A and B are shown apart, each in its own frame.
Chain A
Amino acid sequence: MNNFGANKLAERVIQAELCSGCGACIDLCPYFRSYRGKTAYLFPCTREEGRCFAYCPKVEVDLDGISRFLFAKPYDGHPLGNWRSIHVARAGTRLKRQPFQSGGTVSALMYFALRSGCIRGAILTGRKGLLPVPQLVTRPAGVWRHSLSKYTAAPTLATLNRAVTAGHEALGVVATPCQATAVAQMRMNPLQKSPFQDPTALVIGLFCTWALDFRKFEAFLAERVPLQDIVKVDIPPPPASVLEVYLPGEKREFPLNEIRPLVPDTCGYCLDMTSEFADVSVGVLEGQPDLNTLIVRTQRGEEIVREAQRQEYLIIEDMPGENREHLEWAAGNKKQRGIRRCMETGRLNGEAGTACLRLTAEVTDRILEN
């Protein structure tokens, strides 16, 4: 893959409406900034190469290169990516009951990692009103303020960039699949800066089928409920097919069919449901609202999970085969939808001049056959 500068990024991603608002290009420099869920390019930068482009998960990402860097294996198009083990998980007994979403696995792992010193800071996402607001958390107790799901894209990686610039090291990051891809690219030091040190010590990826466009979502809710009264928003796992909005003493439900038009176009090109480039990935367990699916992918992920289990911050069990099959089926579906969309619009291997995906024919065929 060729690296380019900010002008190309603006043209190929922002103007092409492929930007997911992940924040990878933000706070590295004064040119990109996030506002109300969208990434803006403020002034033209003339550099021919930039970290902004190199980190972006929506340019022509070299999936094979990332896979070789993280797992020492080629990218083969498996629905769940590379993994060491897959579990059913939930927060352990050492933790008092907190307002977790689902099984509390993400919060439990981050809490443990901070407490044990595996990481020295965590990039988490809280919210102000409906707007997701990423933050650097350095005290374990701070984790709980960020434990609820957000359903709109957040510029989480802007906060990671800021923390790195400020000299923070050994950071934990909770990332969506596109963000996990961006973090993996950051870790590869694409501009060959020297000295360079991997700023992360733990990347927890979240499962994601799509995220909502914040501005559209806010406008949608503003027409239906008093925005300032919203306590919590939730999408319970299938078979439920609704978005729940909790107001004081009241719960409102909106069918997902009404919500789907608020999903930005860019999610339709995504191949990754399970954050394949994270250290561990966490999602809901179908039909079990109190449990999580946990995919352990890297050695450092495995070490932290094992230690968290040993110290009773995390309870893990093997995943029943039928659950795994269903997970693979769902993730494979997303891959197929994404790759078809790329092919239809000429975005696979750059047929339309700009690619958001480059894959060998062999891998493409494998994904489509799965």
Chain B
Amino acid sequence: MSYLIDEGKNASHLLMGNEAIVRGSLEAGINVAAGYPGTPSSEIIECFSQVAKERNLYVEWSTNEKVAVEVAAAASFAGLRSLCVMKQNGVNVASDFLLHLASSGTRGGMLLVTCDDPGALSSVNEGESRLFAQLLEIPLLEPGDFQEAKDIIPWAFALSEKIRNIVMVRSVTRLSHASGNVRFGPLPATAAKAEFHYSGPLLDPDTGPMIAMIVAAPEAQHGPQQEKMKRAAEIFETCPFNTYTGPAAPELLIVTSSACSLYSREAVSILGLTERVGILKLATTWPLPQRLLKKHLAAAPQILFVEEVAPTLEDHVKVVAAEAGAEIGGKIFFGKKSGHLPSLGELNPDLVLAALSRIFAVPYEGAPAAFSGAVKALAARYAPPRGMTFCPGCPHRASYWSINNAVKLDGRGGFVCGDIGCYVMGTMAAGFNTCKTLHAMGSASGIASGFGKLKQFGMGQPVMAVCGDSTFFHAAMPALANAIHQRSPFTLMLMDNRGTAMTGFQPHPGSPTNVLGDTVPALDMEKICRAMGAKVEVSDPFNLEKTRQKLNHLMEYADGAKVLILRRACALSPERRGKKDYEVTVDESRCRGEDCGCNRICTRIFGCPGLIWDGEKKVSRIDEIICVGCGVCADICPAGAIVRKEIA
């Protein structure tokens, strides 16, 4: 039994923020959860799936984030409690439906959980989802620690049901992926019954059809939606998760939220400023609780905003201060705009320490400068940076090798549009700098579809795009449909590594089992592409020469969209992990090393971590611990020095 459904009295566990959100949902009696994988959000759906049977949940990995919100919305319409979850970029995808949902409103409590990634630790950008709460006109909650990540969820569900609208709960990497002690509350009995009532009058919140009709009648829905926000603001004035710690009349008030409240507390404590600085930690960051803010602003002459990415709190609290100017007097503000804190990247205690140390003119030094200077010098010498690369045995390295060769051999200046997945590294040396554009999920295919139509303006460069299997279903299919219909002659390389590998092998519509372990229909990508009208080839990326030939052939085939499915499971996938196909060795007598005729192509260019250059002997060798025995490097070696022996 999972500890997530521990029903022991006063049970306490060390939980990741994401797990705390799951436990909170279970304590709120959640029924349905849907999401699309994306770091740092992915554990939430996985944890739900582990307790789905015991708690009678319906849980799914949806095709994309928009579908996830739609699936969760259906549950809400039928009176159930539901949640949809995604990383910040996913909210962009879901936003079209969300805008309509926010106007129709919801029935059963419904939460949009977003896990943002300030600093873009595992994202292509540090996009900010908080701004969506303003755009969508829905309430936004931000838990400040692990306990709160659990406790705020039932409160959020209740709020959603009070105002009959979706409520957004935002976490960040440092909460979602960090762990802390969480005391559990009781789990409710589960006996939900779903039914969609639609026979009442239009716009009746309980019994009418759920229809977003802003265009037809703005006042009919937009008006009530704004009323909902006013009610939320009122409720937020007394929200138990907005807390203040510090003296009654601090010299400086820190206004903060989320993980930044922990950094603020730690910095104030380290500098011994607890008697001089107050910390107002807000959990309700949209709409803002005006009276609460006014009260605290009035008590302090100086205000410091501690938040990550966009100056959202900073901007809106300043508006509150300006509106209340006559009452509370002028203030001195510090934050991103004053340059005391950076406007990009994630924060940490040190950045807050530096800001406070500057404001209060209190010197601070983490470690003696002489010591850290000396160690930094050693690190520069002895600890070479660890660049990103594909795993040993990764099919993408082999795919990009063949793609690079095909493009170069073709010699017409062809290029590849890149997409989102582990294979983003196609833009880097790890993927031989093959990809020349990179944007959102599925965008490679759309951009390539457009490039393919530029022949009439003299563009003779062959156009290619990559996408992964999960990305194919997520967003590439509409672009491919477009390209086929418009006869855009681009080649899509569908890198099918059998799962959503980057985020941990979540299933997608092409998988034979779903997140609950049920056997489900696996959509056949090859048949889909053929049925859509593309010319389709399939290749094993580990067969370098065949793959290269097929790609060259497709590049020369000028009529319409073409798909090359590069099928080989990820090296970390359950089916390949820990299994070696070959015992790989280097015959040192044949290795050409740095000589004319090779110049270390295996270590210098191919760059698999399983190969090491022995600088003393001037030969390559296999790192036995790292090598996973895929054997591809034997085909890279021009001298036959890398020998692979099949393991029976």
Contacts and interface: CB of A to CB of B under 8 A. Distances in A.
Given A40-B411, A41-B408, A46 B596 contact: no
B636 interface: yes
Contacts, number: 50
B597 A33 contact: no
Given A35-B552, A43-B432, A29 B408 contact: no
B410 A46 contact: no
B596 A30 contact: no
B527 interface: no
Contacts of B411: 35, 38, 40
A245 B254 CA distance: 86
A30 B409 contact: no
A47 B596 contact: yes
B599 A46 contact: yes
Interface residues of A, number: 21
Nearest to B408: A40
A29 B638 contact: yes
Judged by DSSP, the binding face of A is loop
A12 interface: no
A43 B601 contact: yes
Interface in B590-640: 594, 596-599, 601, 604-605, 636, 638
B89 interface: no
Contact of B410 (A35, A41, A49): A35
Nearest to A161: B597
A349 to B, nearest CB: 27
Interface string A106-136: 0000000000000000000000000000000
B409 A50 contact: no
A347 interface: no
B: interface residue count bin:
10 to 19
A90 interface: no
Interface string B408-446: 111100000000000000000000100000000000000
Contacts of A38: 409, 411
A65 B579 CA distance: 58
B42 to A, nearest CB: 35
A46 B408 contact: no
A36 B552 CA distance: 11
Interface in A8-57: 28-31, 33, 35-36, 38, 40-47, 49-52
Interface string B352-382: 0000000000000000000000000000000
B39 interface: no
Contacts of A42: 404-405, 408-409
Contacts of A47: 594, 596, 599
A49 B408 contact: no
A33 B604 contact: no
A171 to B, nearest CB: 19
Contacts of B636: 30
17 contacts: A29-B598, A30-B601, A30-B638, A31-B601, A33-B405, A33-B408, A40-B405, A40-B409, A42-B409, A45-B599, A46-B599, A46-B604, A49-B596, A51-B596, A51-B597, A52-B596, A191-B596
Interface of A: 28-31, 33, 35-36, 38, 40-47, 49-52, 191
Interface of B: 404-405, 408-411, 432, 552, 594, 596-599, 601, 604-605, 636, 638
For the complex of A and B, 9 pairs with smallest distance between CB atoms: A35-B409, A40-B408, A30-B638, A40-B409, A43-B605, A29-B597, A50-B596, A38-B411, A42-B408
Given A30-B638, A38-B411, 15 more contacts: A28-B596, A28-B597, A29-B601, A35-B410, A35-B411, A40-B405, A40-B411, A41-B408, A42-B405, A42-B408, A43-B404, A46-B599, A49-B596, A51-B596, A51-B597
